[in-house]
């Protein structure tokens, strides 16, 4: 189950990044909804993955050690999932602005996409088969 969730989490990432780019270029309701709701799916997959992943469970067991060690351990113990949650909030705030026709949706989508790009583990395989 862990491998299947990791596979899905990896592939949904690319869809979310494309939807984020679309929402940035056209800050309207439909692109914003695809971005925000795709990111919601990505976060849900990540949370479920955290519960079944032996790697993440090991990080939680030695959280303080992972934070001191830095590198990949710290990235997944703290930065990866916090960045995803922050991006999720920004994307939904952008969607709310786009739905109401208020200015600022593009800025919120840009911030969400920026945080998301910083939260992607680019040092891991970009495509899992």
- The reported pLDDT for the residue numbered 106 is 96
Is 92 within a domain? yes
Nearest to 61 by CA among 49, 78, 77: 77
Report the interhelical angle of 80-100 vs 29-52 (nearest 10°): 160
Is 95 within a domain? yes
- The reported pLDDT for the residue numbered 46 is 92
Number of domains in the chain: 1
Is 43 within a domain? yes
Mean pLDDT by 10 residues, the chain (129 residues): 86 95 95 97 93 78 77 81 95 96 94 96 79
Query: Do residues 1 and 50 make contact, with C-beta atoms less than 8 angstroms apart?
Result: no
- The reported pLDDT for the residue numbered 71 is 80
- The reported pLDDT for the residue numbered 11 is 92
| Residues spanned by the domain of 6 | 2-119
**Is the whole-model pTM more than 0.85?**
yes
Is 63 within a domain? yes
Is 125 within a domain? no
Is 127 within a domain? no
Is 83 within a domain? yes
Burial bucket for residue 100 (CB in 10 Å: 0-12, 13-18, 19+)? exposed
- The reported pLDDT for the residue numbered 125 is 74
């Amino acid at each position: 189950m862990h491998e299947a969730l990791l596979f899905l989490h990896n592939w949904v990432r690319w869809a979310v990044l494309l939807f984020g780019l679309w929402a940035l270029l056209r800050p309207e309701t439909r692109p914003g909804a695809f971005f925000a709701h795709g990111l919601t799916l990505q976060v849900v997959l990540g949370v479920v993955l955290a519960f079944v992943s032996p790697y993440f469970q090991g990080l939680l067991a030695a959280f303080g050690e992972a934070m001191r060690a830095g590198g990949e351990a710290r990235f997944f113990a703290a930065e990866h999932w916090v960045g995803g949650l922050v991006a999720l909030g920004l994307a939904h705030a952008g969607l709310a602005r786009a739905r109401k026709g208020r200015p600022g949706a593009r800025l919120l989508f840009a911030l969400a996409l920026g945080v998301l790009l910083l939260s992607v583990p680019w040092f891991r395989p970009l495509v899992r088969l």
